[in-house]
Amino acid sequence: MNRFEEIRQSLARLSEAERDAMITWLLRQGADRVEEALPAYATPLPELMTCEEFLDLQDPDPNRYEFVNGIIRLMSGPSVAHCRIAQNVYAALRAHLRGGPCVPFCTGGNVKLSPGTDQIVYKPDVFVS
């Protein structure tokens, strides 16, 4: 039997409450996304922080982070292909929105969202305001 099958069988033996607890824990650990490892020279961040603490952190720190409900994620630097795609999206939006009330923006700004009780701060490549 392979490891994957052993894990699958072990998970099948858990109760629904135990599976829900495991899913919650995995999501809390960031298992729903792939991210770059924290550089060895970076200062470790506290496990959770408030949105205000996060925004204060942004000023002196040269690294780029995103914030979702107290969880901070280090953003990796973009690849050349990624930059080209972002530039093309920005150019298409700029041409489409020309003369209207909306304006596209490129990388650099924080976008703070507060849907319901969530607090989110993203650093999108392109956004429209």
- pLDDT over 70 percentage in the chain: 78
**Helix boundaries (H) for 29-79:** 51-58
CA distance linking residue 35 with residue 73, whole number of Å: 8
Please tell me the predicted confidence (pLDDT) of residue 40: 55
pLDDT at 31: 52
Report how far residue 66's alpha carbon sits from residue 121's, in angstroms, rounded to the nearest whole number. 6
Whether 120 contacts 110, CB under 8 Å: no
- The 3-state secondary structure of 95-106 reads HHHCCCCCCEEE
Spacing of C-alpha 120 from chain mean position? 9
Backbone angles phi, psi at 37, to 5 degrees: -65, 150
Cα separation, 106 vs 129, whole angstroms: 11
Task: Pick the closest to residue 96 from 119, 128, 64 (CA basis).
Answer: 128
What type of residue is 85?
I
Residue 61 has pLDDT above 70, yes or no: no
For the whole model, what pTM was predicted? Answer: 0.54
Residue 99 has pLDDT above 60, yes or no: yes
Q: What is the mean pLDDT of residues 91-110?
A: 89
pLDDT category at 74 given cuts 50, 70, 90 is confident
Please check the confidence at residue 2 and state whether its pLDDT lies above 70: no
Q: Among the listed ranges 23-27, 49-53, 111-115, which one has the minimum average pLDDT value?
A: 23-27
- Per-residue pLDDT at 98 exceeds 90: yes
pLDDT at 37: 54
